[in-house]
Structure 1
Amino acid sequence: MKLFGKDGLTRRRFLIGGAAATAATAAAVSLAGCNDGNENDNTGEPQVIDDDSQIIDALDEYASADAAATLSATWTLPLGTLLYHTDGVWSAAMMAPESATSINTLGVLSLTSGNLITLVSSPVRGRTYDFHDVRCGNGVFAWLEVEYSTLTWVLLASSFADGTLTSDPVELDSGSADWDPPMFTAVGSTVFWQKMPSLSGDRTSEASHCYAWAVGDDDPRDVWESPGRFATQPRVSDGILTITPRVRADEGTYYGMTALNVGDGTYKQIDQLVLPVGVHPFEAVYMNSNFAFAIEASYSGSGSLGNMGTFIGREGGPYVYISREPAACPAGKGTRYIVKIRSSHYVIDTDAQTYGMIACPDRSLDYGDYPASEGTCDLFMVYATVKNDQGMPDSVTARVFAL
């Protein structure tokens, strides 16, 4: 039976590859279970892909179809609202008050009612600090405050339930200008963050660390040490934490997208994909036993995985490829992957071998329609700054799609 299509790969061939990937994942879990700790014993080989049959160009080989996503709600929010949805039915929100002299406020948006609730009206550290970032899980609310005059920062968290903070803030970490404000996420009752030395500080030779803290813990847990800066923000999907530390440091600049088991509390490595030397990923998340990752620039001499675009696959291939400039972390459910591009979102179904589109709202193209959701989700949220009839930014339109 013929397995190859016009560009080297048919749907049957990809499913064969998927079956092999499942078996390999099981082997990886078994191997990781024998390794007590998070040592890089399972570092893979750099994936330099020069075989065109290992790359499936979704926009060329897949059929166009209606996007498998149902619009379930639309809300109009105040101008300047930023949304971040990691799990459940609450999205963290950073809100800009109408007064230019006021600091931002932090809160949550309900994905079921559309209610926008203020939770933190002013920085805990005082008037010299400003809010820098915020995330919310089902059981925890976390935010970052920065004093921009000195670049001193503090990461704080409170327990959260039903749209309300249920404890006083806890300081999880802090740093001076020698340390970048951390990239972080919150899922369930746990906060994950990456502490990295600043490129211009006095600690540039120190290692970077990924930490985890759950509501009720006395101290954070040191999950992973990287001998250089992490390349992407930590993402959690389906109980798996995806980080992108430096690997093979004695051989060159290699980044290894690494999947760690969060669900059982072991943080054991269950999968890894090492990119070609020098290739810096823009986003990465582990979904449906595959890495969905984005490359923001093109790298010559690095094979197909050095091309700009979004890829779906794992070590050994094949890789589904979306040849558009990436703009955000992929999201989706099952074999459906949602990829943000400039004017819309592609919905790629690797099982049905189709692609559809979620268009942005009218009068929002200049500012873009951005996903608030990341990784696997039942509810996919996007938000866009919309202009009025005079062409001026007027409000934010938030939309929720059921997957």
Structure 2
Amino acid sequence: MAWCDRGHKGITRRGFALGAAAAGTAAAVLSGCGSEGKKVKPTSGEPQVVEDSSQIIDALEEFEGKDTGLNPVKIWNLPLGTVLFHSDGSWAAAMMAPESAQHVNTLGALSVIDGSLVTLKEDPTLGRTYGFFDVRCGSGVYAWIEIDYATRIWVLLAQQFSGGALSGEPVQLDTGDKNWEPPLFTCTGPTVIWQKMPLASGDRRSSDSHCYRWSVGDAKETEVWRSTGRFATPPRVSNGILTITPRVRNEEGTYYGLTAVDLQSPNNTKLDQLVLPASVRPFEAVYTGEVFAFSIEASYDSAGSLGKMGTFVGREGGPYVYFSREPAAQIAYSGTRYLVKTQSAHYMFDPANQLLDSISSPDRSLGFGDYPASEGSVSTFVTYATVRDAKGIPSGVVARTFEL
């Protein structure tokens, strides 16, 4: 049984497990019109309103809870106020809050190999009226947003990055005013990908949204996708595949299409797409090379099973694994093991082996949350949590890595 067997109306639990296992390894042997063996999947573009209960496998009901050895292999204590963002490579971008009247925050990077934390940017490039707003890094590029809160002008900048150090000069990639949201963006290798969207309540709210890409050495950005309406989720990249959620079927209503784009093809080939039911807005989405892993943070009446709150794994035609907990962050995975953050904990579910596991939070972090600093396909899962001291006062941040 294959994930894309749309003619199949019923499915056994054993059959589902075998299909999920095949999906986890299929990306390595695919052939088709995409680059490096990536296969372009046939899609109908029809909204996926799932009413057949046999197409939904509830992980919490069907899978076995088991200790699979999800224990931290490295633990580092970081300064209070540190926030981590891990895109790819061996470094995680860091926004820090130093105890200094001169710097509200600074930018740096954490080595996920040895835990060294380095400061890369103490002062905004554009001057004292600007502050740091957001940051990401890939193995070859470091990107950040500076914003002037008085005028609400923002600027996206990038600089070459390697081995925990910057080189060359910052490059301005994009800018916007109060009518444009600061972009959602990510980094992969030497490439920055961002979404420029009009503010929903601004004067440009009827303007199109754009997804752009730029790599170190490029003269200018190139457009990957244009959406008539705002994208629903941040851009996520995994194994050379970009996942975005533009508006589709605009003449019929509000529909979002989970869309997988081959970044290694000359024309940004669309590899796969899954259109959600009307008005259902996804919270997060990433493509594994064979299926989408996506989450919904609210329940929608009359939208079928794909309108329920929770996290799903599947593609057009089903079936879908369903994890019925409110999502709180991006999705990471390793093979057929999916890691999701809920309001209370990290959970792992494995459709191939029909297993469930969870990751305990650090001591004295209750109330602040333990958040992932990883996304997409990973071999090392990184988390960070604010912790209290013995008196209950926030005292620092604990970063942990888990080998998958």
Give the TM-score of the pair, scaled to structure 1: 0.92
In structure 2, relative to structure 1, the CA distance for the partners of 1:62 and 1:317 (3 Å cut) is same
Equivalent residue for 1:257?
258
Equivalent residue for 1:236?
237
Describe how 1:17-28 pairs up with structure 2 within 5 A: none
In structure 2, relative to structure 1, the CA distance for the partners of 1:345 and 1:265 (3 Å cut) is farther
Measured after TM superposition, the shift of residue 349 of structure 1 is 1.1
1:183-223 C-alpha deviation (Å, 9 max, x unpaired): 00001000000000111221111100000000000000101
State the distance in 2 between where 1:146 and 1:313 align.
Answer: 38
Measured after TM superposition, the shift of residue 11 of structure 1 is 2.7
Q: Which amino acid aligns with 1:398?
A: A
Contact 1:21 1:314 in 2 (8 A): no
Contact 1:68 1:347 in 2 (8 A): no
Equivalent residue for 1:11?
14
Measured after TM superposition, the shift of residue 359 of structure 1 is 0.8
In structure 2, relative to structure 1, the CA distance for the partners of 1:25 and 1:306 (3 Å cut) is farther
State the distance in 1 between where 2:26 and 2:91 align.
Answer: 35
In structure 2, relative to structure 1, the CA distance for the partners of 1:42 and 1:304 (3 Å cut) is closer
Equivalent residue for 1:195?
196
In structure 2, relative to structure 1, the CA distance for the partners of 1:72 and 1:265 (3 Å cut) is farther
1:99-156 C-alpha deviation (Å, 9 max, x unpaired): 3562210010000111100011110011111111000000000000011111100000
1:332-382 C-alpha deviation (Å, 9 max, x unpaired): 211010011122211111111101111111111100000000010111100
Equivalent residue for 1:62?
63
Greater shift after overlay, 62-71 or 208-217? 62-71
Give the TM-score of the pair, scaled to structure 2: 0.92
SS of residue in 2 equivalent to 1:300: coil
Measured after TM superposition, the shift of residue 240 of structure 1 is 0.3
Equivalent residue for 2:316?
315
In structure 2, relative to structure 1, the CA distance for the partners of 1:296 and 1:363 (3 Å cut) is same
Describe how 1:204-215 pairs up with structure 2 within 5 A: 204-215=205-216
Equivalent residue for 1:343?
344
Greater shift after overlay, 295-304 or 336-345? 336-345
Is 2:110 the partner of 1:95?
A: no
Equivalent residue for 2:166?
165
Alignment: residue pair count: 389
State the distance in 2 between where 1:267 and 1:168 align.
Answer: 28
SS of residue in 1 equivalent to 2:73: strand
Q: Which amino acid aligns with 1:10?
A: R
SS of residue in 2 equivalent to 1:305: helix
SS of residue in 2 equivalent to 1:168: strand
User: RMSD of aligned C-alpha atoms?
Assistant: 2.2
Contact 1:25 1:271 in 2 (8 A): no
State the distance in 2 between where 1:222 and 1:369 align.
Answer: 35
Q: Which amino acid aligns with 2:342?
A: I
> What are structure 2's unaligned runs of at least 5 residues?
1-9, 36-41
Equivalent residue for 1:299?
300
State the distance in 1 between where 2:251 and 2:29 align.
Answer: 29
State the distance in 1 between where 2:19 and 2:324 align.
Answer: 23
State the distance in 2 between where 1:60 and 1:100 align.
Answer: 52
State the distance in 2 between where 1:229 and 1:117 align.
Answer: 35
State the distance in 2 between where 1:293 and 1:283 align.
Answer: 5
In structure 2, relative to structure 1, the CA distance for the partners of 1:139 and 1:398 (3 Å cut) is same
Describe how 1:278-293 pairs up with structure 2 within 5 A: 278-293=279-294
Contact 1:25 1:289 in 2 (8 A): no
Greater shift after overlay, 385-394 or 96-105? 96-105
SS of residue in 1 equivalent to 2:368: coil
Measured after TM superposition, the shift of residue 178 of structure 1 is 1.1
In structure 2, relative to structure 1, the CA distance for the partners of 1:392 and 1:51 (3 Å cut) is same
Equivalent residue for 1:382?
383
SS of residue in 2 equivalent to 1:380: strand
State the distance in 2 between where 1:83 and 1:336 align.
Answer: 22
Q: Which amino acid aligns with 1:264?
A: S
Measured after TM superposition, the shift of residue 69 of structure 1 is 3.5
State the distance in 2 between where 1:244 and 1:254 align.
Answer: 10
State the distance in 2 between where 1:28 and 1:208 align.
Answer: 32
Greater shift after overlay, 16-25 or 118-127? 16-25
> What are structure 1's unaligned runs of at least 5 residues?
1-6, 34-40
Equivalent residue for 2:7?
none
In structure 2, relative to structure 1, the CA distance for the partners of 1:401 and 1:24 (3 Å cut) is closer
Describe how 1:145-164 pairs up with structure 2 within 5 A: 145-164=146-165
Measured after TM superposition, the shift of residue 29 of structure 1 is 4.9
1:53-91 C-alpha deviation (Å, 9 max, x unpaired): 111111110011113545221000000000000111100
Equivalent residue for 1:216?
217
Contact 2:103 2:122 in 1 (8 A): no
Contact 2:91 2:137 in 1 (8 A): yes
Percent sequence identity is 57
Equivalent residue for 2:353?
352
SS of residue in 2 equivalent to 1:71: coil
Q: Which amino acid aligns with 1:15?
A: L
